A and B are shown apart, each in its own frame.
Chain A
Amino acid sequence: AQSVAQPEDQVNVAEGNPLTVKCTYSVSGNPYLFWYVQYPNRGLQFLLKYITGDNLVKGSYGFEAEFNKSQTSFHLKKPSALVSDSALYFCAVRLGDGGATNKLIFGTGTLLAVQP
């Protein structure tokens, strides 16, 4: 079955330290991978995506993610966390089959808490 897993419900990190939010996936075919962020009382906002090409993808607000095909992972990273990065982060995957379907499968979300 196609799925996306975010193994950590919550990640705690001190401001200024590097952060990693983990995501693994299981899909057939080539995956299109996304990270979204949800701030309190807001909708999901696009952060970055991997479609093809360089395995290291850079996105908004200084975030980046590394696609690892052998480990079927797409971990979100940032070299230096800010308190304002505290939010709920969702990993999502879409099949890259070029067809009309656009269904995204979402992980369960990881709450990132950055302490001052």
Chain B
Amino acid sequence: EAQVTQNPRYLITVTGKKLTVTCSQNMNHEYMSWYRQDPGLGLRQIYYSMNVEVTDKGDVPEGYKVSRKEKRNFPLILESPSPNQTSLYFCASSLSRDRTVYGYTFGSGTRLTVV
């Protein structure tokens, strides 16, 4: 089944403790992206990657890192999490050069709480 898999689904952590949220897709998509969803703000892009070893900042990159060493994986790293990073996170992927794209395929989300 074509899908984007995120782990974990739920995570509670303490301020300053490094964490990684994994994202993997099995559709050979070139483009991958991370979003955070907050009430009243919708989805905001954190980072995106056009292909392996190519990453760039989105609208709200502060406090986050990403890497794209393999085409299928795009982990989101919080080196020193803070309470304002408490949010619902989504990974998404798509083909980069398909003009009739169906937008993105989304993962099921990771609900992160930083205390």
Task: Enumerate chain A interface residues (CB-CB to B < 8 A).
Answer: 6, 9, 32, 34, 36, 41-46, 49, 51, 90, 92, 94, 96, 98, 100-104, 106-109
Q: How far is the CA of A96 from the CA of B103 in the complex (A)?
A: 12
Chain B nearest CB from A106 CB (Å) reads: 4
A-B contacts besides A51-B100, A102-B33, A108-B42, 4 pairs, CB < 8 Å: A43-B108, A96-B99, A107-B42, A108-B41
Q: How far is the CA of A4 from the CA of B50 in the complex (A)?
A: 23
Task: Enumerate chain B interface residues (CB-CB to A < 8 A).
Answer: 4, 31, 33, 35, 40-45, 48, 50, 58, 90, 92, 94, 96-97, 99-109
B43 touches A46 (CB 8 A): no
Q: How far is the CA of A45 from the CA of B94 in the complex (A)?
A: 13
A36 touches B103 (CB 8 A): yes
B103 touches A94 (CB 8 A): yes
Chain A nearest CB from B107 CB (Å) reads: 5
Q: How far is the CA of A46 from the CA of B5 in the complex (A)?
A: 16
Chain B nearest CB from A83 CB (Å) reads: 23
For A100, the chain B residues whose CB sits under 8 A away are: 50, 96-97
B96 touches A90 (CB 8 A): no
B96 touches A92 (CB 8 A): no
B99 touches A98 (CB 8 A): yes
A46 touches B48 (CB 8 A): no
Residue of B nearest to A36 (CB): B103
For B105, the chain A residues whose CB sits under 8 A away are: 46
Contact of A104 among B99, B100, B103 (CB under 8 A): B103
Contact of B106 among A44, A96, A101, A107 (CB under 8 A): A44
B102 touches A106 (CB 8 A): no
Q: How far is the CA of A43 from the CA of B4 in the complex (A)?
A: 10
Q: How far is the CA of A16 from the CA of B106 in the complex (A)?
A: 30
A90 touches B42 (CB 8 A): yes
Residue of A nearest to B50 (CB): A100
For A32, the chain B residues whose CB sits under 8 A away are: 101
B103 touches A46 (CB 8 A): yes
Q: How far is the CA of A45 from the CA of B102 in the complex (A)?
A: 10
Q: How far is the CA of A11 from the CA of B100 in the complex (A)?
A: 30
